[in-house]
Structure 1
Amino acid sequence: MHLAKVIAKVVATQKTDRLVGGKLLVIKSVDETGRLMESETPYVAIDAVGAGVGDCVLVDWGGSVDNDMSMVGDMSIVGIVDTIEFE
């Protein structure tokens, strides 16, 4: 899994039937403090948990994605982070 921040939403009126009803969000990696990693490339992920712009999220990708929204995309938002605690 990967920590990221939702920075935008994507509206795509023309898409494969298997994506209909799925919410697409643009995410960008964050460091352990929650700050955007400016040098990282933004990605589009399908939302499986109701995330929104500004949320810090957990992202999973590839064969490990196992949720209702992993229809055709290989990157899914699978959790919304409330806090990050360090000892």
Structure 2
Amino acid sequence: MVIGRVVSRLVATRKYDELQGYKMLIIEPYFDENKKHFVAADTIGAGEGELVLVSFGSSVQHALDKTAPIDALVVGILDQEPTL
């Protein structure tokens, strides 16, 4: 899992049918020095600027309502910034 900040929402007017209904977000990793952004699906209502917990890989299929080609999913919204 990765902690990241929601940078913006991604809008795709045409996409694979199984992706219909999923909100797509652009995420910037919180602790990664390279800050390589990635796209994650969201079903819990995260918004721009929020810190989120993102899960990756085939395990995200267990959290989806239907099978979809998603490999990154927002699974939590953090209440406060993490400290090390």
TM-score, normalization: structure 1? 0.83
Structure 2 residue 74 is matched with structure 1 residue 80: no
Once residues 85 and 39 of structure 1 are traced to their aligned partners in structure 2, the CA distance between those partners, rounded to angstroms, is 19
Code of the residue aligned with 1:77 in structure 2: it is V
Show structure 2 runs of 5+ residues with no match: none
Once residues 83 and 64 of structure 2 are traced to their aligned partners in structure 1, the CA distance between those partners, rounded to angstroms, is 32
Structure 2 residue 14 is matched with structure 1 residue 14: yes
Report the counterpart of residue 26 of structure 1 in structure 2: 26
Instruction: Specify which of 56, 69, 75 is matched with residue 51 of structure 2.
Output: 56
Distance 1:64 1:38, change over 3 A: same
Once residues 76 and 83 of structure 1 are traced to their aligned partners in structure 2, the CA distance between those partners, rounded to angstroms, is 20
- How many residues are matched? 82
Is 1:48–1:67's contact at 8 Å kept on the other side of the alignment? no
Deviations 1:28-77 (A, max 9, x none): 1002xxxxx46221001000211011010000010221212662110000
Distance 1:11 1:43, change over 3 A: same
Other structure's SS at 2:79 match? coil
Overall identity of the aligned pairs, in %: 38
Once residues 15 and 62 of structure 1 are traced to their aligned partners in structure 2, the CA distance between those partners, rounded to angstroms, is 20
Code of the residue aligned with 2:27 in structure 1: it is I
Structure 2 residue 50 is matched with structure 1 residue 67: no
Let me know the Cα RMSD of the aligned residues.
2.0
